[in-house]
Chains A and B, each alone.
Chain A
Amino acid sequence: MTGHEEPGQPTRGLDAWARTVRAEAERDEAFWARQRTDIRQRTQTQGVSLWGWVAVLGTASMAATALAILLARGPDPVQAPAAMIAVANIGANGDDQLLMDVEKAVLREVPMAFEPADFLLPGARDPEEE
């Protein structure tokens, strides 16, 4: 076997064991090629995953920065109520309408709040007026 007989060496069978291991370890070229491919893929995957992590971390930090900026700006100014916006949009035509409404209110015999009662009880009105 190895030629190095040492004190205490279990001589019988040691050669055979070493040859057994060497024989068992003999594989065809396809095995070694497949092993190299697996190793190459694992190292390349590792590289990709590293860059993948870098990309994920970059995206996350950008998102966090954007969120921080948004929060730092504070809440948006209070929106004007829709009615105010509607009035503002009425424009010049709205002024005419308003004048007409005022005129109607002035000429109204019964205050607008009492109009339903007046409608239900027409006799309740002052008879002298009739």
Chain B
Amino acid sequence: MTRQTTAIIDATAVRAMGLEAASFDGIVREHQQRLYRLLLAMTRDPDEADGLVQETFVRAFEHREAFRGDCEVGTWLTRIAINLVRDRTRSGPWRFWKSLFRRDGDAAREAEQVPDDAPDPVRALLAREDARAIGVAVARLPIRQRAAFTLRYVEEQSVSRIAETLGCEVGTVKAHLARATAAVRREVGHDRP
């Protein structure tokens, strides 16, 4: 099935959301986990990620008539989710402080989540420390860089797919990734000699 055909089917499914609850439920079921993962990586807050996933689907439901089917539903939903993260970042200074205060407290817990599959315990420890530091660094990136970085390394999307999601050129995505990578390196300390 071509991508265009998939998009047309997706558009039909989205338009049907208002008519059949089952269709909408199916779309939620298909995309909720991926969106939650993306939003968790971007916000580092499980509660906020949960709320944003819900808000994403509610917004999609509200604006289902605006979906033209020129991309897949997943891409459209991801766009909505990223815009919501951007809006949240703009809307509340308290969120900034909250994110700052939670970083150190939750970092250790997050580091414990790293699957310990490294044979060398020292390497495993280093990997955990680096993961924690990268998480903190990613959370400080500007929204588009954060989105590009997360989509690339957590969702393993291609650069062209990310460009479609962000609504920009491939070259722009590459620039976002390069800047994000440099910033993360700087934060983590991998650019030290």
A interface list, Cβ under 8 A from B: 1-2, 4, 6-10, 12-25, 27, 32, 35-36, 38-40, 42-44, 46
Binds A, one of B1-9, B56-64, B78-86, B91-99: B56-64
**Shortest distance in angstroms between B150's beta carbon and chain A's nearest beta carbon?**
8
A12 to B57, CA, bound (A): 35
Q: Bound complex: CA of A18 vs CA of B149, how far in Å? A: 11
Partner of B36, one of A4, A19, A25, A38: A25
Q: A13-B131, A36-B25, A46-B62 are in contact. Are A25 and B114 (CB under 8 A)?
A: no
Cβ distance A48 to chain B, nearest Cβ, rounded Å:
13
Decide if A38 touches B54 in the complex (CB within 8 Å): yes
The main secondary structure of chain A at its interface with chain B is helix
Binding site for A on B (CB under 8 A): 21, 24-25, 28-29, 32-33, 36-37, 40-41, 46, 50, 53-54, 57-58, 61-62, 110-111, 113-115, 126-131, 133-135, 138, 150, 152-154, 156, 177-178, 181-182, 184-185, 188, 190
Please tell me if the beta carbons of A10 and B29 are within 8 angstroms of each other in the complex: no
User: Is there contact, CB below 8 Å, between B54 and A32?
Assistant: no
Q: Across the interface, do A46 and B128 meet the contact criterion of CB distance under 8 Å?
A: no
Asked whether B115 lies within 8 Å of A19 as measured between CB atoms, the reply is yes
Q: Are B181 and A8 in contact (CB under 8 A)?
A: yes
From residue B63, how far is it (CB to closest CB) to chain A in Å?
12
Smallest CB separation, A23 vs chain B (Å):
5
A44 and B20 CA atoms in complex are apart in Å by 12
**Contact (Cβ within 8 A) B134 A13:** yes
Instruction: Given the known inter-chain contacts A10-B134, A13-B133, A18-B153, please indicate yes or no for A24 contacting B58, CB distance below 8 A.
Output: no
**13 A-B contact pairs sorted by A residue (CB < 8 Å):** A8-B182, A10-B181, A16-B134, A17-B131, A17-B135, A21-B150, A21-B154, A22-B37, A23-B114, A25-B37, A35-B50, A39-B54, A40-B24
